[in-house]
Each structure stands twice: as structure tokens, then as C-alpha cells.
Structure 1
């Protein structure tokens, strides 16, 4: 499904104030995973800046043992420190990668900012090698901007 067709659906999910924020985040994860063939796992991690850890708050896909990630560890932990998008075409080429599944070949992590502070991120794993494009980055940045409005 093209990203432009997903935007109104994401907007509708996030605008539903009769559901909790966590339920809305889970619905967004489920929508993205079901709609984009190479999004095999989609999750939102949120930062605990005092403990310097990320905590999984919502996801769609196989359950993961990685529900808490220290800042600096793995792709997610690196984004928590760099405040920059991180697109990994081949996870095997990364020496600071946390393997979540033997099937994951690529990952994209986009930081989520609220009032200029990196409060979390959206993390997507793919079972395809090098599937992510600049369009994925722009779309996921847009998703995070919408999510920040409900936090």
C-alpha cells in the first residue's frame, strides 16, 4: 500500500481518543505491518532518560525478548544517543546489532521527538535485504510527528 494511502488511516487511529495511547500505538504498528510487505516487525520504544534505557511500549509481529534496550546498544540504542535516523541495509554488516530474529536482514529506526527531546523511536525489522528507501524514512518521520501529538 502506498504511503499516501496509509496517512489518513494513521491519522484516524491516532485521533481516536476513546482508546488509550498504547492501544493506538499498537494499532498503528499492526496497520504498518499488515500494509507494507517488507515491514515484518514494527514497534515503538520509549526512553527512560534517567536509566538510559529504551522500553518497548507497542509492537506488531513476533514477540521479542528485547523489551528493554540500553542506550548505545544495538541500532535502537544508537539512535537514542545520536538523535538521527538509522537505516541498516544488512544487519550482518553491523557490529553493534542486537539480533531479534534469525530472519531479520534489514532494520530502520527513526527517532520520535516531543518538544525537541528524543522520547522514543519507531523500529522496523525486515526479512528482506535492503528494502528501505528515503520514502520510508519520510513516511516514518511523518508517523512519529503525528504520534508526538498524542503523547
Structure 2
């Protein structure tokens, strides 16, 4: 019999392996773009049922598209606008089960149904955000959020 708690434990173990892979990829590299590119590629390979994963980098009072995997995306997002801009402005993760219910959602890809955005905080400032979209509603749960926040913390140490 399959139990939810067993699944959560396995999911966390899988994320821990991905975080170790991230550390191996970035530990000796100082270039921010290279590290963000490898991080997006790693998550794209690891996560199922996603259609976009990447980074937006802070430039003044807006986010500018950085390394990503997926279809072409919006290039500039003002702080406070959409899921990414809201996460950056509030310095907190936004986990959105249905993007069509999020006020001011910016639809870069009409296939996206759910989204998670984790701010990257470096030296107390918002360096940027990790943005992941899924064509499945309610794709991201509390385990995804916890583990992706840990992934971003490790990444931030090498940016």
C-alpha cells in the first residue's frame, strides 16, 4: 500500500540529491550566469510536469530575464507585478496552485497553470528569483517549496 508520508520522504531524498549535484556543479565556479544556467538545467532535468524553469535577476526596481529552460519568456517584470514581481517585492515565496486566480498574473506561456517563485536573497537584498511553471494545476506542494528554498539558499552562496 502506498502512503503519502513515504512519498514525501522519497521526494525530499530526491531533492537532497539534486542539491548535492548543484553543489558539485557550482562549488568552484564564480561566474553567476554559469551557475544560474547550470542550476536551471539541473532543475529542468529533475522536475517532472513543468514547462518553464529559470531565473529573473534584479536590475533596479525590476526583474530581468536570466538563464532559463523553456519557451521564450517575458523579459522585464516590475517589482510588485505578477507572481515573480510579488515574490521579489515581498521577499517571500509565492506558491500559486492556479495562476488564473492570481491577481495580475503575467501569462508568458498560456500552457502554465501553476507556479512557484522563490526569491534569491543575497546580503539582505533580492538578487533575483527562481521561477518554475507547470501545465498542471496545484503542481507544487509544501515539500517542493521547502526543498526549492533550500536549493536557492545553496545557490545564493555562490552568486
Q: 1: CA distance between counterparts of 2:133 and 2:28?
A: 27
Q: 1: CA distance between counterparts of 2:113 and 2:125?
A: 30
Q: 2: CA distance between counterparts of 1:113 and 1:20?
A: 17
In the alignment, is the contact (CA less than 8 A) between 1:32 and 1:39 conserved in 2?
no
What's the secondary structure of 2:95's corresponding residue? strand
Instruction: Indicate the residue corresponding to 2:84 in structure 1.
Output: 76
Instruction: Indicate the residue corresponding to 2:113 in structure 1.
Output: 105
Counterpart mapping for 1:24-43 below 5 A:
24-43=35-54
**How far does residue 138 in structure 1 lie from its aligned partner after superposition?**
1.3
Q: 2: CA distance between counterparts of 1:124 and 1:9?
A: 19
**How far does residue 101 in structure 1 lie from its aligned partner after superposition?**
0.9
After superposition, give the CA deviation of every residue in 1:36-68 in whole Å (9 maximum; x if it has no partner).
10232111111123xx1101111111121x111
For the pair shown, which has the larger CA radius of gyration, 1 or 2?
Answer: 2
What's the secondary structure of 1:123's corresponding residue? strand
TM-score, normalisation: structure 1: 0.90
| Match among 45, 59, 62 for residue 71 of structure 2 | 62
**How far does residue 80 in structure 1 lie from its aligned partner after superposition?**
1.6
How many residues were matched structurally?
147
**How far does residue 136 in structure 1 lie from its aligned partner after superposition?**
1.0
- 4+ aligned runs moved over 6 Å, structure 1: none
Q: 2: CA distance between counterparts of 1:56 and 1:16?
A: 25
**How far does residue 73 in structure 1 lie from its aligned partner after superposition?**
1.2
Q: Larger % of helix: which?
A: 2
Stretches of structure 2 lacking an aligned partner (at least 5 in a row): 1-10
